[in-house]
């Protein structure tokens, strides 16, 4: 994620419209498969699924500093998912290296390439497309019991 995506999310968080959540369950059987579930939550604009995928202690870090927590992530995502101006979201998360975490049942997905394409309409109805790409992202994932077998507890964006 980059500054432009952060700015984009903040701008879109002002425009809220109807959206329904399908509460998709993540059926990941391995830590790296949670990336597929995150992609689906974005493309389906499924805020309930996203909430299940993020741990209560989730933190997003940009350029080494903690930028926001789960509450802020959910608020900005919900506003973007519900915006009538957003036509579609396409999130791609690829090529992770999986390493064990410090605690049992935790892993780090490292060197993740990210690409978010947001297709939207401006206030005059003209089509717009925003693409944000990054590499070297790092996701902390832990195994849990509940609707999702794994949850993201940390997302580091190096800000390059």
pLDDT score, position 113: 96
Q: Quick one: three-class SS letters along 22-81?
A: CCCCCCCCCHHHHHHHHHHHHHCCCHHHHHHHEEEEEEEEECCEEEEEHHHHHHHHHHHH
Question: Is it the case that residue 12 has pLDDT exceeding 90?
Answer: no
pTM above 0.85, yes or no: no
Of 3.90.700.10, 3.90.1170.40, 3.40.50.2300, 3.10.450.50, the CATH number of 3-12+30-157 is 3.10.450.50
pLDDT classification of 5: cutoffs 50, 70, 90: very low
pLDDT classification of 25: cutoffs 50, 70, 90: low
Give 48-71 pLDDT, tens digit per residue: 999 999 999 999 999 878 889 999
The domain segmentation of the chain, as residue ranges, is: 3-12+30-157
Q: What percent of the chain has pLDDT over 70?
A: 84
When pLDDT is averaged across residues 135-158 and rounded to a whole number, the result is 92
Question: Is it the case that residue 82 has pLDDT exceeding 80?
Answer: yes
């Amino acid at each position: 994620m980059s500054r432009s995506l952060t700015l984009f999310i903040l701008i879109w968080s002002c425009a809220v419209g109807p959206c329904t959540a399908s509460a998709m369950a993540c059926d990941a059987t391995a830590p790296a498969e949670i990336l597929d579930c995150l992609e689906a939550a974005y493309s389906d604009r499924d805020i309930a699924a996203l909430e299940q995928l993020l741990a209560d202690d989730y933190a997003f870090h940009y350029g080494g500093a903690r930028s926001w927590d789960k509450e802020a992530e959910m608020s900005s995502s919900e506003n973007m998912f519900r915006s009538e101006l957003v036509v579609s979201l396409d999130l791609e998360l690829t090529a992770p290296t999986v390493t064990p975490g410090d605690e049992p049942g935790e892993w780090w997905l490292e060197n993740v390439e990210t690409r978010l394409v947001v297709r939207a309409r401006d206030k005059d109805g003209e089509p717009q497309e925003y693409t944000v790409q990054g590499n070297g992202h790092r996701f902390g994932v832990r195994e849990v019991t509940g609707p999702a077998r794994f949850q993201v507890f940390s997302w580091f964006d190096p800000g390059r």
